[in-house]
C-alpha cells in the first residue's frame, strides 16, 4: 500500500475508490497508528551523535564529527519517503471519505510536531545527502496540506534550514517595525530602509546548496509553508489580514533577507523562475487588501513586504534570460487574473504604480549600496522595468489616476546621482549597458525627461553660478549643485545620462513631436558648447566619447523630425552649427583614431539635404563639404569668440581648446571656404606668429610650441592652395612680413630649429601655390635674402634643403633683378651647397644655381664670378652619382649661355689636369 509510484497521490485515489468507506476508515486509523510509532523511531535513528576517530597505537580519541545514528544514506532516505507516503495517504483518504478524523484527533500532533521540531530541521534537511534534502522538502509540502495546524506552530523552525535566520545589522539596536511602535524608545533608521538592515546569517541552508534542484525545491517549500499558514487563517474565519501579520513578519524578517541577496542572482534558470512564482504567490496574499486601501493607510510592515516583493518581481521580469523573463511576466498576469471578477482591469502595472514611491526608494537604496557589478546591473534592470510598467499605461487610463507618480520629481536628484555613479566605471561593461538602458527608459516619458534635463543642463552649463536671467528653475539649480559636488566624473557621466535620455526620446517613434522637444534639443545643443563641457572633452577621453554620443543622438533626432519643424528651420540650423562646433573640438582633442573617425562620419551624416543613410556609413566628401560650407562662418565665429570685442593683440595660450578646434576646423574645411573667409583667418595667424605674442602666463617653451603649432597649420593651408585662391594672395604680404620673417631668424634650441624649418616650408608653399607678386618679392628681398643665406648653413638637412629651394624659387621669380653686389654675395653660398653632405641639398643647389644665373644681367656674372662657378661645377663632375653628374652638366649648360668661351676654356684646362671623361661630358 505504501509503495511509491510515479503518480503519487493518484494511486491512493484509485485505491480508495474501489474500497468501501468502512475499509478506508480502517486503513486511515491504521496509518495514523503507524505514524505514531514510526516517527519516533525515525527521529531516533536520524538524530546525530559524535563519532570519534582513534589511533592504531594508543587507541586515543583524536577528534570526531557529528554523524546520524543510521549511517546508511539509502535507509535514511527510505524513512523519510515512507513518512511522506503515509502522510499523503492520510490526506487523500480523509478527503475521499469526508472524514474529520484528522481535524478532531490530537493523537498525531506530538508525532508530527517531532517531525517539525527534530527530524526535519535538525536532521534530514541538514543531511549532506542531496536526495534526502529533496525528499524532506516533499514531506514538508505534504505536511502543509495535511497537518497545517502543526506547520503553523513551527514556521520559523522549518524555514530556518530552508532559507536561514536573520540578524539586524544595527548590533542590537531596535528597528521600528510598524507604525504602531513607539519610535521614541528605539533607535530608528529612515524608512523604508529600516527593514533592509536585516541580513541573513545562515550559510548551511537549502537556498545556498550547490545543486540547483535543491535550491529550487527549497523555494517551493517556502511557498507551501506560507500558503498553509494563510489557509489556516482563512479556515478559522477570523480577521484574515490582521491574522496575516504573523505571516508578514516571517516574510519580512526571515524569508526576504535570505532570498533577496541570492534568488535573483542564482545561476540556474529554474531557481529564478521558482523565485518569481514564490514572489507572486506572496503578493497574492495581500492583493485584496491592497486594492481596497490606500498605500499610505497600510501598516509599515505590510507596505514594506509588498514593496520588496515588487522589487523582486521587477528583477525577474528584467532577467537577461528570455525564459525567466516570460515566466515572470506570466506570473504577474496570473497574480491578478485569479481576482478578475473583483478587480476588473486591474493589472500589475497599476499595482507597481501605486507603490512607485516605495519601490523607487528601495531600488535606489540597493543600487547605491551594491557591492558587486552583477548586483548593480540587475537592480538597474529592475529600475528600467519599473519605468516600463509605469509608462506602459495607455493614454485612455490617464484620467483615472496620475500617469507619472510625483516621487520621480522629488527623487530625480538621487536618480541622476546613481546613474552618474553607474556610468563612472566604463570598465564595468554590463553595468554601463544597464545604466544606458535605464536612462533610455527614463527618457521615454516627457515629464521625467524634462525634470532630468532641467537638472542636467543646469549642472553642465553656467546656470548654477547664479545667473539671475537663467530660465532654469531655482530648485533645479540647487539640485545641480549637489550633483556637481557628489560626482567625480561629473561631465562625462552627465553627458552619458543626456545621451540615454535622447535615446529614449528616439525610441518613442512619434510622427508628430511636440514643440517642447525641439526646445529641449536646442537647450542640449547649446549647453554642451559651454566652456566646462569643452574643457572636460580635452581632459578625458570618456567625456569626449560621451559628448560624441550626445551629438549622434541630437543629430538623429533632428534628421528624423526635421520635416515636422519646417517653420523652425532656423532653430534646426542652430542645433546643427552647435553640433559642428562640438565636432571640431572632438577632432581637436585628438584622443584616439576611433574618436576622430566616428566624428568625421557624424559630420558627413549631417547633410541637411539628405535624410537617408546611417551614422558610421562611408564618408561622402561632397556631403561633408556642403555641410561645412553652409555653417562655416557661424562655426568660425563661435571658435573665434574669444577674440570678439577684444583687443586685436589678444592671443590664445598654448593648450587652449580654441587652438585645437581652430586647427581641426581649418583642416577639414575646403580650400574654397578658407579662401573666401581668409580675411577672418589671416589675422589669427598674424596675432599668434608675430614677435611679442607671448602671453604672460606662458613659458618660453610653450610660446615656441604655440608658434610651431600655428605655423604647421598655416603650411597645411598653403600647401593645398593654388593660384585660383586669389583671396589668400591678398594677405601673403602681411603674413610674410608679420608671421614668417620673424620666425626665420636663428634662435637656439630644438623648438626654435623646428619653427625655422616649418616657417621656411610655409614660405616655399606660398611661392609654389598662391604665389606672390613681383612687387611683393622686390619689397621683401633685401630683408629676406640675408636671412635665407644664414639659413643655408643650418644644422638641419631639411632646413638647408628648403632654404635653398626657396632661394632658387625667389631668384626664378626675379629674373634680371639682382645687382652685382648681390650676385657677389650669393654665389659662394650657393656653390657651398654642392659640397653638402646631404644629396637632396646638392640637387636643390643645382636648381638654385640655374635660377641664380638668370637673376641678373649677363654683365654681372662675366669675369671672375662665372669662372669660379664653372670651375667648381667641373670639379663635381667626378661625383659617383650619375644623376648628379647630369644635373651638374645642366648647370654648366646654363653657365655657357653667359660666357661660352670661359666655359670651353675651363673645360679644356680641367681635362688636361684630370681626366678625359670631362671632355666627353662636355661634348
Contacts of range 640-643, beta carbons closer than 8 Å, 24 or more positions apart: 640/680, 640/684, 643/684, 643/687
- What residue spans of 487-590 are helical by DSSP H? 490-506, 515-527, 531-539, 541-561, 569-589
Q: What is the structure's pLDDT at 401?
A: 44
Other beta carbons within 10 Å of 872: 19
The lowest-confidence range among 528-532, 607-611, 734-738, 897-901 is 607-611
Q: How far apart are CA 432 and CA 422, in angstroms?
A: 6
pLDDT surpasses 60 at 910: yes
> What is the per-residue pLDDT for 79?
94
**φ/ψ (deg, to 5) at 251:** -65, -45
Helices (H), 338-410: 340-343, 348-354, 356-369, 373-391, 407-410
pTM equals 0.77
Most confident segment among 80-84, 291-295, 488-492, 880-884: 80-84
Q: Quick one: pLDDT at residue 288?
A: 65
Asked if residue 71 has pLDDT above 70, the reply is: yes
61-68 vs 198-200, strand pairing mode:
unpaired
Between residues 336 and 364, which one has the greater pLDDT? 364
pLDDT > 70? residue 102: no
For the cut 60, the answer to whether the pLDDT of residue 615 exceeds it is no
pLDDT band at 730; cut points 50, 70, 90: confident
How confident is residue 266, by pLDDT bands cut at 50, 70 and 90?
A: very high
pLDDT in tens, 267-305: 999 999 999 999 998 888 777 666 655 666 566 777 888
Residues 6+ apart with CB under 8 A from 874: 892, 906, 907, 910, 918
> Out of 106-120, 157-171, 304-318, 440-454, which region has the weakest mean confidence (pLDDT)?
157-171
Q: Which is higher by pLDDT, 82 or 91?
A: 82
- In this structure, of 59-73, 207-221, 439-453, 851-865, the range with the lowest mean pLDDT score is 59-73
User: What separation in angstroms does the CA of 832 have from each of 163, 257, 809, 876?
Assistant: 95, 91, 18, 11
State residue 364's pLDDT score.
92
Q: Quote the pLDDT of residue 807.
A: 87
Name the range with the highest mean pLDDT among 8-12, 62-66, 372-376: 372-376
> Rounded CA gap, 159 and 250, in Å?
9
**What digits encode the pLDDT tens for the residues 339-393?**
655 555 567 888 888 888 889 999 999 998 888 899 999 999 999 999 998 888 6
The separation between the first and the last C-alpha atoms of the chain, rounded to the nearest angstrom, is 130
The secondary element (H helix, E strand) that includes residue 716 is helix 700-719
Q: Which of 173, 276, 261 is nearest to 220 (CA)?
A: 276
Percent with pLDDT over 90 in the chain: 20
Q: Whats the size of the chain, residue-wise? A: 923
pLDDT of residue 586: 92
Per-residue pLDDT band at 566 (split at 50, 70, 90)? confident
**Cross-strand bridge partners of residue 68:** 48
Q: Residue 488 pLDDT > 90, yes or no?
A: no
Position with higher pLDDT, 295 vs 56? 295
Whether residue 612 is predicted with pLDDT greater than 60 in this model: the reply is no
Phi-psi group of 66: left, alpha or beta (phi > 0 → left; psi -120 to 50 → alpha; rest → beta): beta
Mean pLDDT of 27-40: 86
pLDDT at 195 over 90: no
Amino acid at each position: 500500500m505504501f509503495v511509491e509510484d510515479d503518480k503519487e497521490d493518484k494511486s491512493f485515489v484509485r485505491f480508495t475508490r474501489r474500497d468501501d468507506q468502512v475499509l478506508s476508515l480502517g486503513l486511515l486509523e491504521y496509518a495514523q497508528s503507524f505514524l505514531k510509532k514510526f516517527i519516533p523511531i525515525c527521529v531516533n535513528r536520524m538524530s546525530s551523535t559524535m563519532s570519534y576517530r582513534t589511533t592504531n597505537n594508543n587507541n586515543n580519541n583524536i577528534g570526531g564529527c557529528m554523524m546520524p545514528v543510521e549511517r546508511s544514506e539509502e535507509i535514511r532516505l527510505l524513512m523519510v519517503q515512507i513518512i511522506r507516503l503515509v502522510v499523503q495517504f492520510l490526506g487523500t483518504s480523509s478527503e475521499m471519505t469526508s472524514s474529520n478524523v484528522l481535524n478532531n484527533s490530537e493523537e498525531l500532533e506530538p508525532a508530527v510536531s517531532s517531525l517539525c521540531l527534530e527530524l526535519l530541521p535538525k536532521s534530514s534537511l541538514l543531511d549532506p545527502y542531496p536526495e534526502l534534502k529533496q525528499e524532506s522538502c516533499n514531506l514538508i509540502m505534504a505536511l502543509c496540506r495535511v497537518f497545517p495546524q502543526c506547520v503553523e506552530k513551527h514556521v520559523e523552525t522549518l524555514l530556518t534550514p530552508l532559507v536561514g535566520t536573520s540578524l539586524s545589522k544595527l548590533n542590537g539596536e531596535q528597528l521600528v517595525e510598524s507604525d504602531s511602535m513607539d519610535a521614541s524608545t528605539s533607535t530608528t533608521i529612515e524608512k523604508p530602509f529600516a527593514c533592509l538592515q536585516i541580513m541573513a546569517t545562515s550559510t548551511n541552508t537549502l537556498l545556498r546548496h550547490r545543486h540547483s534542484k535543491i535550491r529550487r525545491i527549497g523555494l517551493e517549500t517556502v511557498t507551501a509553508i506560507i500558503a498553509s499558514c494563510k489557509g489556516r487563517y482563512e479556515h478559522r474565519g477570523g480577521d484574515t489580514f490582521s491574522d496575516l501579520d504573523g505571516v508578514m513578519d516571517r516574510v519580512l524578517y526571515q524569508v526576504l533577507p535570505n532570498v533577496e541577496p541570492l534568488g535573483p542572482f542564482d545561476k540556474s534558470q529554474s531557481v529564478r523562475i521558482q523565485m518569481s512564482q514564490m514572489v507572486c504567490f506572496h503578493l497574492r496574499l495581500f492583493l485584496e487588501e491592497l486594492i481596497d486601501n490606500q498605500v499610505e493607510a497600510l501598516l509599515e510592515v505590510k507596505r514594506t513586504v509588498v514593496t520588496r516583493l515588487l522589487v523582486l518581481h521587477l528583477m525577474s521580469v528584467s532577467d537577461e534570460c528570455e525564459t525567466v523573463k516570460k515566466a515572470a511576466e506570466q506570473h504577474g498576469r496570473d497574480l491578478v487574473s485569479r481576482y478578475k471578477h473583483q478587480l476588473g482591469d486591474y493589472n500589475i502595472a497599476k499595482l507597481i504604480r501605486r507603490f512607485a514611491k516605495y519601490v523607487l526608494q528601495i531600488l535606489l537604496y540597493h543600487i547605491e549600496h551594491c557591492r558587486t557589478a552583477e548586483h548593480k546591473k540587475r537592480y538597474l534592470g529592475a529600475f528600467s522595468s519599473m519605468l516600463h510598467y509605469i509608462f506602459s499605461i495607455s493614454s485612455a487610463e490617464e484620467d483615472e489616476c496620475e500617469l507619472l507618480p510625483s516621487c520621480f520629481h522629488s527623487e530625480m536628484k538621487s536618480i541622476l546621482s546613481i546613474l552618474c555613479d553607474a556610468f563612472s566605471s566604463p570598465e564595468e561593461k554590463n553595468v554601463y549597458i544597464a545604466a544606458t538602458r535605464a536612462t533610455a527608459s527614463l527618457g521615454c516619458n516627457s515629464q521625467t525627461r524634462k525634470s532630468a534635463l532641467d537638472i542636467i543642463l543646469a549642472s553642465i552649463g553656467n546656470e548654477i553660478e547664479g545667473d539671475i536671467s537663467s530660465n532654469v528653475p531655482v530648485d533645479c539649480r540647487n539640485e545641480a549643485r549637489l550633483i556637481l559636488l557628489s560626482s567625480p566624473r561629473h561631465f562625462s557621466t552627465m553627458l552619458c545620462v543626456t545621451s540615454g535620455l535622447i535615446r529614449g526620446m528616439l525610441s518613442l517613434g512619434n510622427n508628430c513631436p511636440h514643440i517642447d522637444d525641439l526646445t529641449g534639443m536646442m537647450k542640449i545643443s547649446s549647453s554642451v558648447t559651454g566652456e566646462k563641457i569643452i574643457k572636460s572633452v580635452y581632459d578625458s577621453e570618456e567625456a569626449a566619447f560621451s559628448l560624441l554620443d550626445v551629438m549622434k543622438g541630437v543629430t538623429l533626432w533632428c534628421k528624423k523630425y526635421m520635416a515636422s519643424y519646417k517653420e523652425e528651420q532656423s532653430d534646426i540650423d542652430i542645433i546643427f552649427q552647435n553640433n559642428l562646433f562640438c565636432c571640431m573640438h572632438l577632432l581637436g582633442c585628438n584622443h584616439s583614431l576611433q574618436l576622430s573617425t566616428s566624428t568625421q562620419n557624424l559630420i558627413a551624416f549631417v547633410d541637411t539635404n539628405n535624410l537617408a543613410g546611417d551614422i558610421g556609413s562611408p564618408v561622402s566628401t561632397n556631403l561633408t563639404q556642403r555641410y561645412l560650407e553652409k555653417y562655416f562662418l557661424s562655426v568660425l565665429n563661435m571658435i573665434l569668440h574669444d577674440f570678439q570685442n577684444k583687443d586685436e593683440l589678444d592671443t590664445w595660450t598654448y593648450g587652449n581648446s580654441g587652438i585645437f578646434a581652430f586647427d581641426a576646423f581649418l583642416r577639414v574645411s575646403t580650400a574654397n571656404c578658407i579662401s573666401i573667409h581668409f580675411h577672418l583667418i589671416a589675422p589669427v595667424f598674424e596675432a599668434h606668429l608675430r614677435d611679442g605674442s607671448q602671453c604672460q602666463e606662458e613659458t618660453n617653451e610653450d610660446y615656441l610650441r604655440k608658434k610651431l603649432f600655428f605655423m604647421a597649420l598655416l603650411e597645411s593651408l598653403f600647401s593645398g592652395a593654388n593660384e585660383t585662391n586669389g583671396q589668400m594672395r591678398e594677405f601673403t604680404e602681411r603674413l610674410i612680413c608679420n608671421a614668417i620673417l620673424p620666425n626665420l631668424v636663428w634662435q637656439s634650441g630644438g623648438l626654435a630649429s623646428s619653427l625655422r624649418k616649418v616657417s621656411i616650408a610655409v614660405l616655399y608653399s606660398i611661392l609654389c601655390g598662391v604665389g606672390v607678386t613681383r612687387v611683393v618679392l622686390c619689397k621683401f628681398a633685401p630683408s629676406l635674402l640675408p636671412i635665407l643665406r644664414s639659413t643655408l648653413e643650418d644644422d638641419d638637412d631639411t632646413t638647408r634643403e628648403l632654404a635653398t629651394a626657396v632661394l632658387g624659387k625667389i631668384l626664378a621669380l626675379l629674373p634680371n633683378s639682382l645687382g652685382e653686389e648681390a650676385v657677389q654675395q650669393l654665389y659662394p653660398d650657393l656653390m657651398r651647397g654642392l659640397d653638402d653632405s646631404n644629396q637632396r641639398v646638392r640637387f636643390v643647389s643645382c636648381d638654385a644655381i640655374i635660377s641664380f644665373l638668370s637673376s641678373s644681367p649677363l654683365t654681372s656674372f662675366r669675369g671672375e664670378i662665372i669662372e669660379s662657378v664653372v670651375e667648381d661645377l667641373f670639379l663635381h663632375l667626378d661625383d659617383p652619382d650619375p644623376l648628379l653628374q647630369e644635373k651638374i652638366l645642366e648647370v654648366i649648360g646654363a653657365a655657357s649661355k653667359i660666357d661660352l668661351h670661359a666655359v670651353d676654356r675651363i673645360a679644356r684646362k680641367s681635362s688636361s689636369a684630370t681626366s678625359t671623361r670631362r671632355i666627353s661630358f662636355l661634348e
